[in-house]
A and B are shown apart, each in its own frame.
Chain A
């Protein structure tokens, strides 16, 4: 049974190599790319199937399944752990990757190398989730990152190359800090195994600094402020399925690294700092998002903002908040990737990415009804409307933050901003066709092939499902979070239920402020100028790195002082 765990790593790897071999088929052959894509899909489907017999370990309460690679027990060898957190994140990650891959196959224009790196990305993700050794974590994190650099560079526009380079540099420096953290951990505890480390002693100061270094590394990849600068360019310039996987999986997995490490060492002060960081990130991301005119950049800034929610809830530290954080993590993977894929379908159909120009084409709701419906599911989820999953997780996060007024307000403000910016984005569908419509634009639409729609439906259904059954899902996730050793107390049921007056009031307030913000931002001259100003402020690479270092210093100082 435990062999299945290692297969979760071997299958994507083997699939990657076999898919990559498609490159050696004769050049003229049309089969190469298609075959590679099918190999990829089969591998991912196999991995998902592997998760089924492993499901018992997915429900918290069992001892994690340990698999010593090569038969060498710890501390000499490296072991893989499958606990509830790992199972849940594998499930969501593989689902998102599968749908994105389906979308890519439907697009039909990717070379076998693309599928090779895509599967390598999945391998990296699985490795980070499953490993029990700190340095192995580093290695898999690097594999994940390198695959993503290459995939991003495959975007169509030339900015993709620059975005990939910037991301490479920033991420490498971040992972350098991660390595520094590993050094400090090894020096003070003498072992690299995550399980054994928790028991070992070690100088407290050094351990705290180590956790801060690791937090910086994980933070760069999770993209909370001030480490977020690489994300908008990278996610916006990448090919559509890659954007979906990046936003839906990669930043989540990096956050899970943070989760595991901070939980293991109970660095309470760091959690407190993260609470603030999360709140600020959520608001900042949303403000930047409203200002954008490029559809994918808007979505990318939203990824930053939503990760802020997740980080803030994690920072709150109570059992309820942790469960909420995990819930939102799952939900965001689902609806953000759905959004990226649907917007990708629109861009592919029309050839335009700019909101203004898409509105100029007009009438898209009628001409791309399937895409519109799926986009609507994603939008309603992220904006937090019932009965979709966003409502549940945002409500849970708000409850979890009840005790901390400032963070609570920040999160609510971010919620309003989310509503506003998605009203702006939805404009691309809702605009009417201009009366004097140019005849040629009517013919220029490329409707999405059914496989593409299927991929998006596969993501949309869980969005609805996790929203309709909050008790089941929420209960399961709360138990997963409770397994976290640093958390005391039981995660009780949601106070007053999810549709309590409190929550409905929050919803109404968010909607009202959101609509107001939207009107303010888009229909007034002041709004226009403010937005243009915000849009023009782009961080250069040097600034980004400076922010990274400054962020590290600030985090270290704050954690040590508090």
Chain B
């Protein structure tokens, strides 16, 4: 059951990335994708046991080997910590980029942004050509 839910979360994130036009919503969707992967790893680690992976004789007197069999796999947890940190960096970076884009372009809508960028480059915009001034690219191809 759980893996299917995780898969659903992952696909939801990807769907959000593709279909939402607002940059901030795309960042949120990216976070959802990342979270799905994190949950997947942690879930897999939890399958092998149910107690915390700490083995100190003094803290748990007499349990020793019996605990060893029952611990959660510590590796995926450690990996996911790193992944969470990376996720934070990426989100911060993406949000900062979005803020700067807003300041330079005036919009957060990806379609209008791409149109503006294409016009800056002098190529015809991806959608149907708009009226109004377009930078002269008369020397095309020659």
Contact = CB atoms under 8 A, between A and B. Distances in A.
Contacts of A172: 30, 33-34, 90
Interface stretch (A52-60, A103-111, A494-502, A535-543): A535-543
B75 A192 contact: yes
Contact of B139 (A186, A354, A538): A354
Contact of A183 (B44, B89, B117): B44
Interface in B57-97: 75-76, 79, 82-83, 86, 89-90, 93-94, 97
Given A157-B120, A535-B123, A541-B110, A179 B101 contact: no
Contact of B90 (A139, A146, A158, A179): A146
A540 B126 contact: yes
Contact of A355 (B98, B118, B139): B139
A354 B141 CA distance: 10
Contact of A169 (B17, B37, B76, B121): B17
B2 to A, nearest CB: 14
A176 B124 contact: no
Contacts of A180: 37, 40
Contact of B97 (A161, A528, A532, A549): A161
A168 B97 contact: yes
A537 to B, nearest CB: 8
Contacts of B130: none
Contacts of B114: 162, 538, 540-541
Nearest to A178: B37
Q: How large is the interface on B (under 10, 10 to 19, 20 to 34, 35 or more residues)?
A: 35 or more
Contacts of A532: 124, 140-141
Given A157-B120, A542-B19, A168 B90 contact: yes
A142 B91 CA distance: 13
A206 interface: no
A538 B123 contact: yes
B139 A293 contact: yes
B101 A161 contact: yes
B17 A183 contact: no
Interface string A164-193: 110011001100100110010011000010
A164 B94 CA distance: 9
Given A135-B79, A535-B123, A538-B114, A142 B141 contact: no
Contact of A545 (B18, B75, B111, B137): B18
Contact of A535 (B33, B34, B124, B139): B124
A135 B79 CA distance: 7
A153 B122 CA distance: 20
A360 interface: yes
A462 interface: no
A176 B141 CA distance: 39
A355 B122 CA distance: 12
Given A161-B101, A165-B97, A522 B142 contact: yes
B90 A159 contact: no
A354 B101 contact: no
B113 interface: yes
SS class of chain A's interface: helix, strand, loop or mixed? helix
B23 A165 contact: yes
Nearest to A150: B93
Interface in B1-54: 14, 17-19, 21, 23, 26, 30, 33-34, 37, 40-41, 44
A527 interface: yes
A355 B142 CA distance: 8
Contacts of A355: 139
Given A168-B97, A538-B123, A542-B18, A528 B86 contact: no
A354 B142 CA distance: 11
Contacts of A291: 141
A387 interface: no
A521 interface: yes
Contacts of A528: 140-142
A359 interface: yes
Nearest to B37: A179
Contact of A354 (B30, B40, B111, B137): B137
A536 B123 contact: yes
Contacts of B123: 293, 535-536, 538
A286 interface: no
A309 interface: no
B106 to A, nearest CB: 10
Contact of A165 (B21, B101, B142): B101
Nearest to A143: B86
Contacts of B111: 540
B131 interface: no
B82 A293 contact: no
A357 interface: yes
A517 to B, nearest CB: 12
Nearest to A527: B141
B137 A293 contact: yes
Contacts of B118: 536, 538
A545 B23 CA distance: 14
Given A165-B98, A356-B138, A545-B17, A142 B33 contact: no
Interface in A501-558: 521-523, 527-528, 531-532, 535-538, 540-542, 545-546, 549
10 cross-chain pairs, A with B, having the tightest CB-CB distances, nearest first:
A356-B139, A158-B104, A536-B124, A159-B117, A165-B97, A545-B18, A531-B141, A161-B101, A142-B86, A542-B18
Given A233-B117, A354-B122, A359-B139, 10 more contacts: A157-B120, A161-B97, A180-B37, A186-B76, A293-B140, A293-B141, A357-B139, A523-B142, A528-B141, A541-B114
11 contacts: A153-B100, A157-B120, A158-B120, A164-B97, A165-B101, A173-B14, A192-B75, A521-B141, A536-B124, A538-B123, A542-B19
Interface of B: 14, 17-19, 21, 23, 26, 30, 33-34, 37, 40-41, 44, 75-76, 79, 82-83, 86, 89-90, 93-94, 97-98, 100-101, 104-105, 110-111, 113-114, 117-118, 120-126, 137-142
